[in-house]
Amino acid sequence: MHDLAFATIAELKELLAAGKLSPEELLSFTIERCNRYNPSLGAALEIFKAESISAASPVTNGILQSIPGIIKDNIAQKERSLTCASRILHNFISPYDATVTERLKKAGALVVGRANMDEFAMGSSGETSAFGPTKNPWDTTRVPGGSSSGSAAAVAAGLVPWALGSDTGGSVRQPAALCGIYGLKPTYGLVSRSGLVAYGSSLDQVGVFARSAYDTALVLSAIAGQDDRDSTTLAVAQQDYTATLDGKLPENFTVGIVENALYAEGMDPEIVAAIEATIKVLEGLGACIKRITLPTLDYVAAAYFIISRAEAASNLARFDGVRYGLRTSEADTLKELYCKTRREGFGPEVRARIMIGNYVLSAGHADAFYGSAKKVQRLIRHDFITAFEGVDMLVMPTHPAPAFTFGAFDQDKLQLDLQDYFTCAMNLSGNPAVSIPCGMTSSKLPIGMQLVGPHLGEAMLLKVAHALEQKTSWHTMHPSLG
Ligand code: GLN
């Protein structure tokens, strides 16, 4: 049964098609395994009852027929709780499905629960959830990364073969790297945000976690494409991202190694070595390797810090105790109702970000902070456009170090914010990026690296990730859950 836990979607589909496994067996195996391991991992806020899942599943012959997975709890699932791991939404039930949820259900997928996360997707460690932290299945004294902490931990621990997360500054790619799995942040506008609770609307994208490049491509095929309910989606039709996965790189393929990222100060030498080894594999597959720099990389974290807080402050203004979720029991005036509800409902990280966001947008400061950050964003976009004039794909680290221990940054919050250093550039520029497993440290912690593409370069990125996967075995390593 261990094999079933870590089976890929492709393998499960074969077993189902051959009649060696029934959909009911797979679902009950999954629910049992989730209920067994979730209490010690904290990956899910809720595992649904099997009856409520099978009853909700439409009978089709979709590309994810009967395949279980889990969805981050900031993505709406009809008639299920939608808490964003925040007290302020502890009692909120979503009246509708997010577009991505609806599309997954149409593809036949079975959503077995709601994944834990950093509160309102603000964090890099899974520690800010109001309902308790998620643990890294490779070492439960360490964080799984964040903010899509539960989604990553669930897939890495073999609870489910796929999960959805959201990525505003790295929240799919960074936990994927720290948990040793694949994590894709699509091009801004490829996947609908309708039904994703907004954090930074100009940066947010729904992303995919899986244990192989093929599986990642399959889930993306189910959710991507234009949506009338999100006017920021691009005019791209749904397509099959698995079609081009043939174990080869594209013809005449040139890869740019981002040197000022890979050799940045503070990079763990074991991670540098793992990425260099993977670059050799790319060379072996026929890639031409170039060395490049992204000149504005040093300004990215600061620009992201300001823009994400500004957008968060605006987006979270809607949680006022009147329309949704928590409402304080003691308030004499409307203002008091707002203030008390928000103080009781939001955790310290969210409150701090709302205050910073309102400050950088306030009259007298907006030009200096928000205005400057938007100008830096333009420069970052330009950097990527220039880079892709000379190369087809970029290679960067996902994270400078392997998974850290709980509380590691409690005394140095700035360091925690710098965890997004290598990932948030692509949220500011809108480019797609996938974190792939590329090594293990000597203390058996997974290492990830990012493949970055030009806008709408997902098919190419997944083709390359798949070709690398055929030559390496990192994706076959799994934690033992004891
Ligand atoms: N760690 C980043 C933040 O806290 C990224 C979050 C995300 O991508 N949702 O803002």
Round to whole Å and give the CA distance between 167 and 311: 14
Q: Is the pLDDT of residue 2 over 60?
A: no
Q: Which two tokens stand for residue 176?
A: 């994927």
Overall CATH class of domain 2-252: alpha beta
> With contact defined as beta carbons under 8 Å apart, do 150 and 119 qualify?
no
DSSP conformation letters of 266-309 = T--HHHHHHHHHHHHHHHHTTPEEEEE--TTHHHHHHHHHHHHH
Query: Pairing between strand 446-452 and 393-397?
Result: antiparallel
pTM: 0.97
Q: Which of 171, 194, 221, 429 is flagged as catalytic?
A: 171
State both tokens at 64: 């994810």
Does the CB atom of residue 167 touch ligand 1 within 6 A? yes
| C-alpha to C-alpha distance for 345 and 191, rounded to whole angstroms | 30
Question: Does the annotation count 72 as an active-site position?
Answer: yes
Residue 417 CA, closest ligand 1 atom number = 1
> Does the beta carbon of 199 sit less than 6 angstroms from any atom of ligand 1?
yes
Model confidence pLDDT, tens digit, residues 263-283: 999 999 999 999 999 999 999
Confidence of residue 58 (pLDDT cuts 50, 70, 90): low
Segment 159-172 shows an average pLDDT of 98
What pLDDT score does 1 carry?
52
Q: Is 121 in the pocket of ligand 1 (CB under 6 A)?
A: yes
**344 contacts 293 by C-beta, under 8 angstroms:** no
Domain boundaries, given as residue ranges, for the chain: 2-252
C-alpha 170 – ligand 1 centre gap (Å):
6
Q: Is there a catalytic annotation at residue 171?
A: yes
pLDDT grade, residue 102 (50/70/90)? very high
Closest ligand 1 atom to 170 CA: 8
Instruction: Please confirm, yes or no, whether 308 is among the known catalytic residues.
Output: no
Model confidence at 59, pLDDT cuts 50, 70, 90, reads low
* pLDDT tens-digit series, residues 208-229: 999 999 999 999 999 999 999 9
- Candidates 122, 166, 356, 409: which one to mutate for ligand 1, based on the most atoms within 8 Å of Cβ? 122
List the catalytic residue out of 72, 105, 135, 185.
72
C-beta 147 within 6 A of ligand 1 = yes
pLDDT band for position 323 (cuts 50, 70, 90): confident
**Contact yes or no for 321/346 (Cβ under 8 A):** no
pLDDT at 346: 97
